[in-house]
Chains A and B, each alone.
Chain A
């Protein structure tokens, strides 16, 4: 299994996609962070002032939003590329037990997710600390619950990588997997979660589970506890991966 994981890293680092999506995640994080600080005085956009602990936690947590969708896309592409470019043949000849390939990808992209999260946290810190200092706000990285938020961001992005692998395993068609992920994240779930009548139910959706982990609500509804959100999101990832392995990955490679 160690060699299999090493092989997945080797695959990932012999093409450039990981780099482009990492740069994209960092850019998105910088954008989200800048918008949050720039419009911090607007009472409609920010729930908490940036001088308070919840405000600062919200600011740090934008790193999750910057990285989690793109890591899921990277992971989904990592799996579906095997079928799109027909490397599945060589991969399954080397590892006939296809479930092991899926497990290796879960581990690999989970680790890459941690790296993406750390890089995006660095971005938001680099943007926020001097900017807030200029506004005479001291952003301490060790106080105000910030370490907990950073840990939550890392967990959230890593878990989203598992979801991406799972979606890729289930869908197998690369375009469908990527477009589906993007539409779900940016269009479908944001719309559904804004329907008040459904909030009892929508808190269990993947995006809301993610919000629960980092304790940032898009709306003012109650979310799950962070640990509940984390377990739920892991559950989504593993459920997709498991059903994908049996329903899709194990199908004939012709």
Chain B
């Protein structure tokens, strides 16, 4: 491909080309995404089932779930493209269709396929500049931001999937919106592209924007997101801070000659949802309690520890457990 990529570290970064949104008269709801009791069926299939969650401004929220969990349908209902059977979805306190100037408030990249193949990427953007009354040069600005300046004049029909993803993101950024809704934006990006996108989204979130980004791979976004909303089979499985999810579900393996005593000390500490498993004559696995707390409790109880190991890289496992078919929606 003969186009030059502009990476996040280069001169053209989000902060230089995309200033923080103009301060408008902000209400309490500004930038907040509220999904309440949303349901949608396609024929006999319940795509989204009584789904409720909230996304707060200034955070990057990962909207996670396996393929077919209902993520895209939820986002399309949020954006007024699909009519819900029940429930509501609002952005900054309004349903999407009631936003006075929707592209100024919300930028969305829903798919990397929504382009006329004969139209150039630049012209695609310029059309939406015309419709929204933005200056035409805005198209070139966002093209530069996503690293498509050189490919901009070529027909989209010749773009790779990664380039289409960038163009979709550029379209979303056109109105310099407060809220960004991105459906699987990392699909088709190479590893470098994923790093670039992470940086860009982090910069945008640091400016106080709300970013809702869906993915079916937790590890793809775990370095990016602050909060997670996890769904499975159209129902909410878990919402909260990623760090909390990791801590609550972290496994700590402990080796001690006084396994019985430690078991009793941990069980008596009054923690909810702590699971203690005897995995050998002198080993325990503790789930739902940080390693430091296990160490403190052992010290207080006078239990000698030979090993205290927080399990690493287990988020994917947590995600898998939460969204496995047996887990219809009840938090683990």
Interface residues, chain A, CB within 8 Å of chain B? 3-4, 6-7, 10-11, 14-16, 81, 85-90, 92-97, 252-254
What DSSP secondary structure best describes chain B's contact surface?
Answer: mixed
Judge whether B118 and A3 touch: CB under 8 Å. Answer: no
> Closest chain B residue to A14 by CB distance?
B123
| Also in contact, A94 and B132, with CB within 8 A (given A89-B110, A253-B81) | yes
Partner of A93 from the list B82, B102, B119, B120 (CB cut-off 8 Å) is B102
Q: What separation, in Å, do the CA atoms of A67 and B129 have in the docked complex? A: 31
Partner of B79 from the list A16, A86, A93, A97 (CB cut-off 8 Å) is A93
In the assembled complex, how far is the CB of residue A43 from the closest CB belonging to chain B, in whole angstroms?
48
| Also in contact, A7 and B80, with CB within 8 A (given A86-B114, A97-B97) | no
Judge whether B116 and A81 touch: CB under 8 Å. Answer: yes
Judge whether B115 and A87 touch: CB under 8 Å. Answer: yes
| Number of A-B residue pairs having CB atoms within 8 Å of each other in the complex | 82
Interface residues, chain B, CB within 8 Å of chain A? 72-73, 76, 79-83, 96-97, 99, 102-103, 106, 108, 110-111, 113-120, 123-124, 126-128, 130-133, 171
| Also in contact, A252 and B83, with CB within 8 A (given A85-B116, A94-B103) | yes
Q: What separation, in Å, do the CA atoms of A86 and B117 have in the docked complex? A: 11
Q: Which residues of A lie under 8 Å from residue B106 when comparing CB positions?
A: 93
> Closest chain B residue to A84 by CB distance?
B116
Q: Which residues of B lie under 8 Å from residue A94 when comparing CB positions?
A: 102-103, 128, 131-132
| Also in contact, A93 and B126, with CB within 8 A (given A15-B116, A254-B76) | no
Judge whether A254 and B115 touch: CB under 8 Å. Answer: no
**17 further A-B pairs in the complex, CB-CB below 8 A; given A14-B127, A89-B111:** A3-B130, A3-B132, A6-B130, A7-B127, A7-B131, A11-B119, A85-B116, A86-B111, A87-B116, A90-B171, A93-B79, A93-B81, A94-B103, A96-B96, A96-B99, A253-B82, A254-B76
Q: What separation, in Å, do the CA atoms of A15 and B83 have in the docked complex? A: 31
Judge whether B79 and A11 touch: CB under 8 Å. Answer: no
